[in-house]
Structure 1
């Protein structure tokens, strides 16, 4: 693929701006952005997006964003407007959902942009930064050649962490590697979260990504929940504080989205973390959640930090909430994306939210038999993914109309806007209501400067992404976010030169740390064992259920890590390092471990830095660790840390084994 060259910039010929109408109805959160002006106040150069040789107001970077939005909106056809309300997946040459290392299917992308009028997409490519930037530039070139030249907004699920689950997160591509968000919660340091967001923002923009479908402000109240790892733990106040810092870092400041920022979409509004048995709302069997009025209030206030930082977007949850009332009325039993009470009444009216509301993926699609009850012979495939919870009996057109009426501005996981168009033509939606949503969508693109220059420097992407100085910061976060729960007889720090037996650890990393690796624990002086929170595959035929960690949390004798621990403890002191994507039950192993470390995604090198005393383990548990599965089954899934006698409590942790020399205090009691 050759280098992308934009259409030449022009010296403008003025075109009358005309009168503006309805700007107050836009309801936009706009951060101040300086107009692009020449030193003598003449117009700057500009992009002739509509190819007419004259300067339209929407092409004029000197004008206020609201004025540019209104001018462009007035030139858009209804078909172009409804196309903007679709947030599709960029298809790859070998994957319709775009999970690929080979690049986009540009023929399909061209059809979606030029014919379907779609100009917001999620990307799931994993490739070198330079090639990633080249692919995204090619998408912008396609958009530039459309009638109005509306640029494409490209979003992504999180890319900077260890956990990767299709539909929720990905890894690879050279981005800096940080602990999962639970690791930030373990440190409780909002400044570090802000720094992470700032680094991730620069990496995303370098490759042409403009929107982060994150952070999760969900309260981790059900310990078995498969999406626990991407939360900031179980305490609503801590979640709110750290989510606010995340938004500030990504968007480029405290007052909303900036020109060089990345728009955040905080999710999932609201109550998603209270899933009974931890089953997830992507699945038919996880579609219902029950909360009390008191617990619902806790789940809601976890979002306050994101709202204070003016997150550009909010994504409603999939699930149907039961129990709470809004305005004295019980919630309608529909998914949050169809709930006018949750979106218009609570989010917009009560919380005063004025940004974009983008649905979670595929809420308007049908859920056929192989979605509801797949089998080994008819497993659920991507063709049978749909989450229309509570509106199964409505037609697809009626679902779109209900979602827009509830407050949705843009529909995720949709590859055509025909149903929205049909809803308008059938009188189910007004064009004025469509205009409200399109104003919000266009405003974000103007705020990000995409109309003035959507292209990125492909060579620069290679040097920016994964910068060594940034990975130094990320590595420190991997080390310090670890939690020391036990250190019998001061086993840690472990001096170099010791003979060490390993399980789940790369011998090369141990040797690099100065240890002598042996093959038999009987010949060792100490053992180091890595393990993880257990899980079960309870729904192997469901598309998401087969990819998510469900079921038990307790380490048992049949687990390989426990077997390795039992083998080692007969001979030597043991160090057990548990990676937790969900709160593990450690009753089986805590007394067998002389030193017990918890992490939320860390390299072997970072783990060994803590073991050896090169670095400090500064974390504190961001949730309680239950004492047994029986206790988990008896707790309420909507109430955080609802175990009266946990094995370890939220906030537990011994700190730096080197007498506290390396840990700075959290910036809040959290």
Structure 2
């Protein structure tokens, strides 16, 4: 699909006549520089158009790629309302069923955007969607896209080439369906074992995360933003890992971010690299720093998105960042979805009105309000004289530059048939599945239990019988088995009082005593192989000395797990986080300090190489 407004200028330049006046205006001229086009368009925009650019919210896709003209499951307004009437053109897409659906929807959405006064194209963004976690608040499982391990799994491989390779594949799949902005990488350091957002991080080691960040941004953005790039919003500045007691700042009980070990600069290291590598965007976290001093100056105890010392003082002035700063979602208004509510994450400024919160965010230095669509509130702030239009111009200029750099003004449409062929193609899927298998981390391997070989009978949990048919006859009683293979998830405390809360794995890292007892009884009957999915650490101590093998995965299909366990693909993973020995050790550790639990049962970077074990067996 192509634009209905493509014209040819007298000098032969083909352009999109976005404002419908039949003339190639400077902002429509693809031969001019990004800055020239940005300056021209900025001075043409109305206040309402400028305000619309400064909001990004959730939008949903119609079943067959049509525009959804009713409120959705998460989205609050019909598509035409936000695009045409509110002048918005940045949207975070949620559920995608097929590549054809997504590509068709992109084209329909861009055609609608052409009907606005200056035809500003839409920038479609997404949270991570190439792995296994399905959490509306942070990530989506792969669906039609190629499937890779979670961020922790990429970190476990400790291979910058694999990180870059993943990013290049993901970029190509995103671009094919019209997604041109990534609300990732998430480069928070996972130093607090209980924190519920570790799966999408790249681990706890600042040096390694810094190297992964460079590779990730290179794969998505290239050396500089261009028509084949995906613009990254790196998060969560200045590092969201050290949450008090590991409680997440999405929720009121998790609002405090603390630095008892004085490691603020350590958490900042990967963000310095993201700035050097030209990340298009930066997102501050919800967390409210408590007792933090930077260069001897006490930092105001308000959420980072409201914090002028952090956004303007540190990020803009000290670190020299002049890209887009977009807030995390819903700092201004409460979020109502059905009969559930999640209070605005107005940590430290709960007493302010919505208008006052917006004013404070602008004063802090942010360019865009995430998860909001209250454009009239911003327009009223300018018209009342409380905020100058020049303040909006500074942010709008940054936002427009990215659109021009991505080539969206010249052609935002995609080839639906080509998208269907490219997204999730066999080559990409094979690369992802191999990375899944390679990322598995062998923690324990008593008596060379691994690699697994065919045996008489197998007891399984967490696998289908067909998955393990190559290993032997599946039996229902461990007492009759020659081998037990059990797959479990890391423990958490279920919660479901606030919207989104049920999707976050938080609380204790201890397994329920009944599960421990039952698995150890199995281990007494036959050799037990435990595969545990680590979306955050788990207290594995009760199984050590009982299980014949313990293996960690970070998002892997059953087929990939079996490939690794049997040695068809050698598991290469090294722990990107430490595994504490006990919850007492966790509670005594400092939230901002890596590897601080004293005597971990498995230290960071631990992992046994199965290839070496195979060689020993064959030797």
What's the TM-score bracket when you normalise by the shorter of the two chains?
over 0.9
Residue of 589, 595, 601 corresponding to 2:555:
601
Partner of 2:65: none
- How far apart are the structure 2 equivalents of 1:642 and 1:507? 41
Give the match's secondary structure for 1:178. coil
Contact 2:220-2:230 within 8 A present in 1 as well: yes
Partner of 1:349: 317
Residue of 240, 243, 255 corresponding to 1:275:
243
Contact 2:53-2:87 within 8 A present in 1 as well: yes
- Cα deviation digits, residues 53-83 of structure 1 (max 9, x gap): 0010111100001000011111101110011
TM-score (norm 1): 0.88
- How far apart are the structure 2 equivalents of 1:216 and 1:467? 26
Report 1:507-522 matches (<5 A): 507-511=465-469, 513-522=470-479
Partner of 2:171: 201
Contact 1:381-1:543 within 8 A present in 2 as well: no
Any gaps of 5 or more consecutive residues in structure 2?
A: 63-67
Contact 2:493-2:506 within 8 A present in 1 as well: yes
- How far apart are the structure 1 equivalents of 2:70 and 2:440? 38
* TM-fit CA distance, 1:460: 1.1
* Cα-Cα RMSD: 2.1
Residue of 504, 509, 517 corresponding to 2:462:
504
* TM-fit CA distance, 1:8: 4.1
Residue of 420, 434, 437 corresponding to 2:395:
437
* TM-fit CA distance, 1:154: 0.6
> In structure 2, do the counterparts of structure 1 residues 565 and 365 end up closer, same or farther at CA, with 3 Å as the change threshold?
same
Report 1:60-459 matches (<5 A): 60-91=29-60, 98=72, 108-251=78-221, 253=222, 255-292=223-260, 294-366=262-334, 381=339, 383-459=341-417
Partner of 1:490: 448
> In structure 2, do the counterparts of structure 1 residues 154 and 589 end up closer, same or farther at CA, with 3 Å as the change threshold?
same
Residue of 3, 8, 29 corresponding to 1:6:
3
* TM-fit CA distance, 1:277: 1.9
Partner of 1:374: none
Partner of 1:541: 497
Residue of 478, 485, 504 corresponding to 1:528:
485
* TM-fit CA distance, 1:520: 2.4
Q: Please identify, of 488-497 and 188-197, the stretch whose mean Cα deviation from structure 2 is larger.
A: 488-497
Contact 1:314-1:357 within 8 A present in 2 as well: yes
> Deviation above 6 Å: which 4+ runs of structure 1?
93-97
Partner of 1:635: 589
- How far apart are the structure 1 equivalents of 2:237 and 2:341? 26
> In structure 2, do the counterparts of structure 1 residues 91 and 604 end up closer, same or farther at CA, with 3 Å as the change threshold?
closer
Contact 1:98-1:123 within 8 A present in 2 as well: no
- How far apart are the structure 2 equivalents of 1:514 and 1:630? 39
TM-score (norm 2): 0.95
Give the length in aligned residue pairs. Answer: 611
Contact 1:620-1:655 within 8 A present in 2 as well: no
Give the match's secondary structure for 1:565. helix
